[in-house]
Amino acid sequence: MKKLSAFVLIAILSIFPLMISAQKGSFPEIKQLQSPQNPRLGFVLHGGAGVIRKGSLSPEKEKEYKAKLEEAVLAGYKALQEGKTGLDAVEIAIKILEDSPLFNAGKGAVFTADGKNELDAAIMDGKTLNAGAVAGLHHVKNPIVLARAVMEKSPHVMMIGAGAEQFAKEFNIELVEEKYFWTQERWDSLQKILKQEKEKAEAAKEGKKVSGIDLRMEPENKFGTVGAVALDKNGDLAAGTSTGGMTNKKYGRVGDVPIIGAGTYANNATCAVSATGWGEFFIRIGVAKEISSMMEYRAMPIQQAADAVIHTKLQNLGGDGGIVAIDKFGNIGISFNSEGMYRAYINSEGKPVVEIYKD
Ligand code: ASP
């Protein structure tokens, strides 16, 4: 009997290391992108994805975009270095981008089909899985601030339209007149699309064959949503996104940005994700949560999970756009299937990197 139990013990002990190495072998090694000084801080943001080809922006415009992206990424990172939370860092950086007319969020929001600006935003806390989202706003200067208030000061996740703005008033969140969001560039984009729509409708009436209007085919529609993800000193992840939606969208249309799990998601167990692109496709796939799930259930590293969703699932469905993401170790994931994506991150030396084009 004694001999038998000794045999069983030896057998178990000799199989155990094999089991561990088999397990290791079946999971891809995670490459960590960490700064030696601040091993647990990380910050990445985007300023929208679309047809942004080299040479399509004037050197001055390119400089303007890069400067604003750098300002925002440095502000977010500085907040983390000062010990602020990932949620603070995300809110600070997104506010900077919302206040700039360069991006399709806050000040630079695009116009709806009936000539209005209708803003959406969301924020999520990876530690608690609490989230706040707002949609269909016309007067809130910084929708990301209101999204955070919904998360922290209400029992709800999503508030829309007039009710959300009433809530903003109650919490002294800055409201502006609708004309604050009016910019010549965005107005011209809407006029151009409306003209095309009219021409196509007339051609169709005359019996000419016309293809459907593709909102995303217009370069003006192709970029501008802003978003950020952060890993703070406590190891907590946060994600936030803010947008004016898509030019010429119909009244009341809500995109992926305020849909938790589509355009915005954070979970300390996996990653934080902020998306930009053709929202309808991101909603149908649940892009941000899908990336998190691939990491959770298939043990995929962040970049692989992001590429699988963007370059396979989104691509196969006919959608376009991209994401920025960060995992609980500080590994960064950036993936897009469009020509370009405005993006910035803090590299392993703690320096900002700003990129626009594919390569
Ligand atoms: N995803 C945004 C929306 O569909 C637009 C964008 O990111 O460009 O509302």
Contact 225 CB / ligand 1 (< 6 Å): yes
The DSSP code for 207 is T
Mutation test residue for ligand 1: of 241, 256, 323, the one with most atoms within 8 Å of CB: 256
Is residue 46 in some structural domain? yes
Per residue in 330-344, pLDDT (tens digit) is 999 999 999 999 999
CA–chain centroid gap for 129, Å, is: 16
Q: 333 pairs with which residues across the strands?
A: 325
pLDDT of residue 29: 41
Per residue in 81-115, pLDDT (tens digit) is 999 999 999 999 999 999 999 999 999 999 999 99
CA-to-CA distance for 227 and 134, rounded, in angstroms?
15
> Taking each helix axis from N to C terminus, what angle separates 59-81 and 86-98, rounded to the nearest 10 degrees?
160
Q: 276 pairs with which residues across the strands?
A: 322
Is residue 340 in some structural domain? yes
Q: What is the model's pTM?
A: 0.87
pLDDT of residue 40: 80
Find the 264 Cα to ligand 1 centroid distance in Å: 12
Structural domain including 284 reads 42-182+215-357
What CATH number did the domain enclosing 353 receive?
3.60.20.30
Atom 9 in ligand 1: residue holding the nearest Cα: 245
Find the 276 Cα to ligand 1 centroid distance in Å: 5
Is residue 26 in some structural domain? no
Is residue 99 in some structural domain? yes
CA-to-CA distance for 17 and 236, rounded, in angstroms?
33
The DSSP code for 161 is H
Is residue 7 in some structural domain? no
Residue 256 near residue 355, CB atoms below 8 Å? no
Strand segments, DSSP code E, in 138-292 are 158-160, 226-231, 237-243, 264-266, 271-277
Which residues have C-beta within 8 Å of that of residue 214, sequence separation ≥ 6?
none
pLDDT of residue 18: 43
Catalytic machinery residues: 225
CA-to-CA distance for 319 and 122, rounded, in angstroms?
21
CA-to-CA distance for 288 and 293, rounded, in angstroms?
9
CA-to-CA distance for 128 and 359, rounded, in angstroms?
37
Contact 246 CB / ligand 1 (< 6 Å): yes
Name the residue type at position 305. A
Is residue 87 in some structural domain? yes
Q: Is 250 exposed, middle or buried (0-12, 13-18, 19+ CB in 10 A)?
A: exposed
Find the 120 Cα to ligand 1 centroid distance in Å: 9
CA-to-CA distance for 83 and 226, rounded, in angstroms?
23
Largest distance between two CA atoms of the chain: 95
Q: 335 pairs with which residues across the strands?
A: 323
pLDDT of residue 11: 56
For residue 259, which phi and psi values (nearest 5 degrees)?
-90, 110
Helical spans, DSSP H, in 259-344: 279-285, 287-298, 302-307, 315-317
Is residue 188 in some structural domain? no
Q: What is the domain count for the chain?
A: 1
Contact 256 CB / ligand 1 (< 6 Å): yes
**How is residue 184 written in tokens?**
């010549």
Residues composing the chain: 359
Find the 37 Cα to ligand 1 centroid distance in Å: 36
pLDDT in tens, the chain (359 residues): 555 565 555 555 555 444 444 443 343 444 444 444 445 899 999 999 987 777 778 899 999 999 999 999 999 999 999 999 999 999 999 999 999 999 999 999 999 999 999 999 999 999 999 999 999 999 999 999 999 999 999 999 999 999 999 999 999 999 999 999 999 999 999 999 999 988 888 888 887 765 555 544 454 445 689 999 999 999 999 999 999 999 999 989 999 999 999 999 999 999 999 999 999 999 999 999 999 999 999 999 999 999 999 999 999 999 999 999 999 999 999 999 999 999 999 998 999 999 999 87
The DSSP code for 346 is E
The DSSP code for 156 is -
Contact 276 CB / ligand 1 (< 6 Å): yes
Q: 46 pairs with which residues across the strands?
A: 227, 343
Which residues have C-beta within 8 Å of that of residue 284, sequence separation ≥ 6?
317
Contact 122 CB / ligand 1 (< 6 Å): no
pLDDT of residue 55: 76
For residue 148, which phi and psi values (nearest 5 degrees)?
-65, -35
Of 354, 358, 357, 356, the closest CA to residue 93 belongs to 354
Contact 247 CB / ligand 1 (< 6 Å): no
CA-to-CA distance for 6 and 98, rounded, in angstroms?
69
Of 107, 181, 101, 92, the closest CA to residue 145 belongs to 92
**How is residue 139 written in tokens?**
């007067």
Is residue 62 in some structural domain? yes
Name the residue type at position 178. E
Atom 7 in ligand 1: residue holding the nearest Cα: 276
Q: 137 pairs with which residues across the strands?
A: 119
Find the 170 Cα to ligand 1 centroid distance in Å: 28
pLDDT of residue 234: 96
Atom of ligand 1 nearest to the CA of 245: 9
